[in-house]
């Protein structure tokens, strides 16, 4: 029997570029990782129990019902229930903070939080490490700082399910998010070993030269992202595109495995 895919979420963090029109932030997984070792990926991970909001959670910028609807419900990329779908959005936000140090949250005045205050920046840096260890939760951090998760800052982008036959499988929802003002992206040095901003086309060119290792799903996303000349064009497309679930086909009898996106969804996902 194939391994069941684990619910997960990943964030494609973007910003205007210095050497290109725009860039994505990517992190490199440790060489000793059991899954996808020593490759560049977008920040992300699996859903945890503490991604479900407590009863006293602050406003989230998105209701459970809206989160479920945007993932097209249980028949699409949503979880079995609306709270399960909401947990996917919150997992994306938490993983972005853990792996890239970027916190999508609003303060009491409704503005996106910045790290301009050195004292707050130091507290949140310590919180990030504690969150990685499981010693705190996103909810405890938000309660102390007077913040609310800004889920509306995420744009649902894609849905990939690892092929059957893989020893570890993931049911991943990909989200787009612009880097908020007053924050910088930094890899975590615990779950990742490097972090860099790079244009999708540049990442693909380095990959072809053997200098930027990628797994199939990440490469497929970079190829699709590279089609957009500007961030405005990317987000305009994301606002109207219908997400098609991608279930790649894989032949694990060869090394490396041969993986392909089915022809019927190759041009429309």
Q: What is the pLDDT of residues 46-60, one digit of tens each?
A: 999 999 999 999 999
Q: Are 79 and 88 in contact (CB under 8 A)?
A: yes
With respect to residue 269, please indicate whether it lies within any of the assigned structural domains. no
Q: Could you give the 3-state DSSP secondary structure of residue 176?
A: strand
Question: Residue 237: inside a domain, yes or no?
Answer: yes
In a domain, 265, yes or no: no
12-33 tens-digit pLDDT: 999 999 889 999 999 998 877 7
Number of domains in the chain: 1
pTM of structure: 0.94
CATH number reported for the structural domain that contains residue 98 in this entry: 3.90.79.10
First-residue to last-residue Cα distance in the chain: 27
pLDDT at 143 over 80: yes
Q: Round to whole Å and give the CA distance between 91 and 261.
A: 26
Distance CA 225, CA 201 (A): 8
Q: How many CB atoms lie within 10 A of CB 83?
A: 14
Distance CA 123, CA 199 (A): 31
Q: Flag whether 253 is in a domain.
A: yes
Distance CA 38, CA 52 (A): 30
Domain that holds residue 243: 6-260
């Amino acid at each position: 029997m194939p391994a069941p895919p684990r619910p997960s979420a990943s964030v494609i963090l973007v910003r205007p570029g210095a050497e290109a029109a725009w860039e994505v932030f990517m992190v490199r997984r440790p060489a000793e990782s059991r899954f996808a070792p020593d490759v560049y990926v977008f920040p992300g991970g699996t859903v945890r129990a503490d991604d479900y909001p407590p009863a006293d959670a602050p406003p989230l910028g998105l209701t459970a019902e809206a989160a479920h609807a945007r993932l097209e419900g249980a028949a699409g990329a949503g979880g079995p229930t609306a709270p399960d779908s909401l947990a996917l959005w919150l997992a994306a936000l938490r993983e972005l903070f853990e792996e890239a140090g970027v916190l999508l949250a609003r303060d009491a005045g409704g503005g996106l939080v910045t790290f301009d205050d050195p004292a707050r920046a130091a507290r949140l840096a310590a919180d990030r490490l504690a969150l990685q260890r499981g010693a705190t939760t996103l909810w405890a951090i938000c309660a102390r700082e007077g913040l609310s998760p800004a889920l509306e800052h995420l744009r649902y982008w894609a849905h990939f399910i690892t092929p059957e036959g893989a020893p570890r499988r993931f049911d991943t929802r990909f989200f787009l998010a612009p880097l908020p003002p007053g924050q910088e992206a930094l890899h975590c040095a615990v779950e990742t070993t490097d972090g860099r901003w790079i244009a999708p086309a540049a990442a693909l060119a380095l990959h072809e030269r053997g200098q930027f290792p990628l797994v199939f799903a990440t490469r497929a996303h970079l190829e699709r992202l590279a089609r957009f000349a500007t961030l405005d064009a990317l987000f305009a497309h994301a606002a109207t595109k219908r997400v098609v679930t991608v279930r790649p086909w894989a032949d694990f009898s060869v090394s490396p495995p041969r993986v392909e996106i089915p022809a019927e969804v190759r041009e429309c996902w």
